[in-house]
Chain A
Amino acid sequence: MIDVRLTAVSKRFDKSSDAAAVDDVTVTIGAGEFFTLLGPSGCGKTTTLRMVAGFYFPTSGQIHFGDDDVTHLSPNKRDTGMVFQNYALFPHMTVAQNVAYGLRVRRVSRAERDRRVEEALAQVHLSGYGARRIDALSGGQQQRVALARALVIRPRTLLLDEPLSNLDAKLREETRTEIRRIQRESGNTAIYVTHDQAEAMAMSDRIAVMQSGKVQQVGSPQEIYYRPANAFVARFIGRSNVLSLPVAGAGENRVEVRMPDGTTLEVGAAPGHGLTEGDTALVSVRPEHITIAGGEDEPALRGRVTHVEFTGMATNLTVDADGTEVMAAVIDAPSSINVGDLVGLRLVRERLWVVKP
């Protein structure tokens, strides 16, 4: 087990242009941690992973594995195990030959090699598949061969580049549990790249949310979900309403905002938010933290329903509150609710959070 540190890493593919694919990224990935780089396509997450693997060299900055500076080390000398998006299995080799490739390169003795290949295949539940041809396997099985091939060399870190994106929805959920189990058992430090926020939330110890080459926020899934750093993170992770509300007062880690009906509401905020009375605060409100106001409740927002959608678990409402569109996911909504109805909405106070723009 080893930690991976990226220090001020930047990558520019075109030296003449200012646009950086990865822009000044500094993160430390703890030993044994399952760390995810999450972001929309083109955000620089795969470029970052490929710099860790050594397929690209940073334009500036350093990458360390423990105490070793690997910034400009060849990919074949890094001891990383990578699972590629399309698996990149060698089509001219059997399953066992694929898994054994890295051991052969490392001149592991034949007996030891056979034993470890068998062990790795057992780990991914593919015992007895060693002699199969790659094209005789299903997509899910190929995915597991790729994982076994990366694990069998006992890499310093495990790198996974959207390994689930080619699987169907059901298999994807099974496999992500499986990958996490295997990573825990092997104790590897793992860096995982995905654009699927649900996947990232379900699997990771910590997540780095990236956009335009920059890290927007690093934190546990809970931190990122409940206390997003900015409007982008709030909207990218799950769904979120970001309301602009005038600030009525401010404290160290809270802000008082004035609601449309004139009442004030205390909202949590990160220390150093810099807001004072008279500013406008952006408040993130998750749809599931909005309920329909009952008889004696004082509703914080009022508006007309513009869209109703029953999903089974909840009823999704879109409400037009004085020109601001608000999404709400209401459990046990009255079935009588209809487009055009006037409703009052209540916010779950302790789940509101002030975000940066």
Chain B
Amino acid sequence: MPETSPPRLAWLRQRLAGGTNSQWFPYLLVLPLVLVLYGYVVHPMFATFSESVSENGTRNYLQFFTSSGVARESLFTSLFISAASVLLCGIVGVAMAFLLKRFSFRGRRLIEAIILVPAALPPLIGAVSFQLLYSNIGIVPRGLQALFGTERPIMAFDGIAGVLVVHTFTMYPFFYLAAAAALAGMDPSVEEAAYNLGAGRVRVWRTVLLPMLTPAMVSASLLVFMTSLASYTAPLLFNVSQTMTMQIYINRTNGDLPMASAYASVLGIVSIIFLLAMRWYEGRRSYQSQSKGISANRRELTNPIGRWLAPVASVLATMVLLAPVATIALVAFSENRTWTTQVLPETYTLDNFVTIFSDPKAFEPILNSLQMSLLAAIGCVVIGVLVAYAVRRLKFIGRGLLDVAVMIAWALPGTVVAINLISAFSTGNAFSFGQVLIGTFWILPLAYFVRFLPIVFRSSSAALALIDPSLEEAARNLGASWLRAFYTITVRLMLPGVLAGALLAFVHGVGEFVASVLIYTSSTVPISVAINNRMYSFELGTAAAYGMLQVALIFVVMWFSGRLESSRTATRRAEQWTN
């Protein structure tokens, strides 16, 4: 029967009708997510800003403009290191991608398999391994010194040069992965067309291949620049104190929180600008393959010099790529305080591991890290999955802002996240239910949650992108409520992706150092801070042993994620069938 009720009632009925299918439902779901993101990501940023102007007004900021001074110097050093890192990583990464994706030679597969190993190390232990390898106390310069009998270590990297070595080794994968993906996605017939039209090889590279790589290169550059700007462990270990991140740390430990906040605000704003630039750029076109079924052709090396050089270079590359992990493993078995001026440690022992597992005080950091990372990972999954769902599947006003809020958490350097949390939670506020969180157990899990939420969000959102929305509709059509369709279909299909993201967040939590070192409490020392403390007391062996455990966890998780990946490709294949 057609309705004859008064228009206002009909309007109200229409508004409230349909339950989860109606227009107000997204807002109900999104409201708690907005509160979480505002409370723990956005609000702390504002708190830091008001902290920075609390005592001296704008005077802290004016220091960045005075001609001489630490602030200005630090900003320029940071920017210089970042720019140089982009250049170095770009050269190494693109060259590697071309070599490995376009040429066929002995040892190529092995290198492809281990190419990401240096970058997979946790930030502190990664920087430590490079310090032990290439600084003037490092194995390589001392080895060369011993070999040639010189007075000083040869080719020792220190200061900014050392920082750049660490950055190049740990960040070139951004370029490598981007260039390799672009090369793989590139339609080989485009290149063939250029040859067909008479272009020579150099001309094809210059006029076809490189321009087609440009979008990938630009995003990789922005990414490396941001990551370098956020880098903290490399300057710490190579004693470059005048960078933004180091100044944040130094001012914080000196008790000048307003100045630390000013640095954090500037660094935060620069990072967010880069984030927005990246998002703007990603919206533009990328060059994808138009034709199907042809893979890019690899050239055999025919040049005799190349054929002879390739295996040598492969062996060398393999050694360089595996050296950091090997160094940590070696040092983990060395006796504390015995390795001083020798090229390699000379006495070896199992004591370091025995100490860690038998001394409850030494084992505590491991328990702390596992516990706090697990809590953070659970939080990341709950919020990350829901935010991904909201951003990908629901229509509501402010969807873009929600997306940006998560990505801000990703863009902010760890030091800035730490300062933000200190500013926001050293007094109670509504988001901590009036409790002071600084100095309690909860501050570190919260920091890990903020830092690694974007990882789970990204993997969830990528998993969602592969799931056809009509699957959920089909479930609804068959009578399932929104909640039931969500958990029996959507969440179930997202699971491998979500799990991979959660594991990654967990591993990152266990390896986290940058934020931890600023806000840990003596009762909740995480592994990385324990490593740092042991290094200070010259217990290098024990520090490396902790590091070894982190590395082992990473490799287990990488292996497990690989298995998840294969079951994910199965669903993806199923997805292709249904489409």
Residue B533 lies at the interface, judged by CB distance under 8 Å to chain A: no
Residue A72 lies at the interface, judged by CB distance under 8 Å to chain B: yes
**Residues from 75 to 105 in A contacting B, C-beta threshold 8 Å:** 75-82, 84-92, 101-102, 105
- Whether B577 contacts A135 by the Cβ 8 Å rule is yes
- Whether B492 contacts A92 by the Cβ 8 Å rule is yes
- Whether A105 contacts B474 by the Cβ 8 Å rule is no
Q: Which of B488, B493, B578 lies at the interface centre, i.e. has the most chain A CB atoms within 10 A of its CB? A: B578
Given contacts A64-B1, A92-B493, A92-B571, 15 further A-B contacts (CB under 8 A): A7-B2, A53-B477, A57-B18, A72-B22, A74-B18, A74-B20, A75-B473, A81-B478, A87-B578, A88-B471, A88-B473, A89-B578, A101-B475, A134-B574, A153-B479
- Whether A88 contacts B474 by the Cβ 8 Å rule is yes
Residues of A within 8 A of B435 (CB): none
Q: Which of A64, A76, A137, A149 contacts B480 (CB 8 A)?
A: A76
- Whether A75 contacts B21 by the Cβ 8 Å rule is yes
Q: Using CB atoms and an 8 Å cutoff, list the residues of chain B in contact with chain A.
A: 1-3, 13-14, 17-22, 468, 470-471, 473-482, 484-485, 488-489, 492-493, 570-571, 573-575, 577-579
B101 CB, min distance to chain A CBs, angstroms = 30
Given A90-B471, A105-B479, answer yes or no on A142-B489 (Cβ-Cβ < 8 Å).
no
Residues of A within 8 A of B484 (CB): 105
A5 to B114, alpha carbons, bound, how many Å? 64
Residues of A within 8 A of B20 (CB): 74
B-side binding surface: helix, strand, loop or mixed? helix
Residues of B within 8 A of A310 (CB): none
Q: Smallest CB-CB separation from A53: which chain B residue?
A: B477
Q: Which of A79, A81, A86, A149 contacts B578 (CB 8 A)?
A: A86
Residues of A within 8 A of B475 (CB): 90, 101
B12 CB, min distance to chain A CBs, angstroms = 11
- Whether A74 contacts B468 by the Cβ 8 Å rule is no
8 residue pairs A–B, Cβ–Cβ below 8 Å? A53-B477, A55-B473, A67-B1, A72-B13, A82-B473, A91-B471, A91-B575, A150-B478
Residues of B within 8 A of A75 (CB): 21, 473, 476-477
Q: Which of A71, A91, A105 lies at the interface centre, i.e. has the most chain B CB atoms within 10 A of its CB? A: A91
A139 to B578, alpha carbons, bound, how many Å? 8
**Residues from 46 to 75 in A contacting B, C-beta threshold 8 Å:** 53-55, 57, 62, 64, 67, 69, 71-75
Residues of A within 8 A of B22 (CB): 57, 72
A134 to B489, alpha carbons, bound, how many Å? 14
- Whether B578 contacts A76 by the Cβ 8 Å rule is no
Q: Which of B1, B474, B570 lies at the interface centre, i.e. has the most chain A CB atoms within 10 A of its CB? A: B474
Given A91-B575, A134-B574, A135-B573, answer yes or no on A54-B478 (Cβ-Cβ < 8 Å).
no
Residue A115 lies at the interface, judged by CB distance under 8 Å to chain B: no
Q: Which of B19, B570, B574, B577 contacts A74 (CB 8 A)?
A: B19
Residues of A within 8 A of B577 (CB): 91, 134-135, 137, 139, 142
Per-residue B-contact encoding for A260-286, CB less than 8 Å = 1, 0 else:
000000000000000000000000000
Q: Smallest CB-CB separation from A146: which chain B residue?
A: B474
A71 to B5, alpha carbons, bound, how many Å? 14
Residues of A within 8 A of B3 (CB): 62, 69
B472 CB, min distance to chain A CBs, angstroms = 9
Q: Smallest CB-CB separation from B492: which chain A residue?
A: A92
A159 to B3, alpha carbons, bound, how many Å? 25
A65 CB, min distance to chain B CBs, angstroms = 12
A131 CB, min distance to chain B CBs, angstroms = 16
A55 to B13, alpha carbons, bound, how many Å? 17
A135 to B575, alpha carbons, bound, how many Å? 8
Which 5 pairs across A and B sit closest by C-beta, in order of nearness? A72-B17, A91-B574, A102-B478, A88-B474, A88-B470
Residue A106 lies at the interface, judged by CB distance under 8 Å to chain B: yes
A152 CB, min distance to chain B CBs, angstroms = 9
- Whether B480 contacts A82 by the Cβ 8 Å rule is no
Residues of A within 8 A of B574 (CB): 91-92, 133-135
Q: Which of B21, B479, B481, B578 contacts A134 (CB 8 A)?
A: B578
Q: Smallest CB-CB separation from B570: which chain A residue?
A: A135
Residues of B within 8 A of A82 (CB): 473-474, 477
Given A62-B3, A92-B492, A153-B478, answer yes or no on A84-B473 (Cβ-Cβ < 8 Å).
yes
A84 to B481, alpha carbons, bound, how many Å? 19
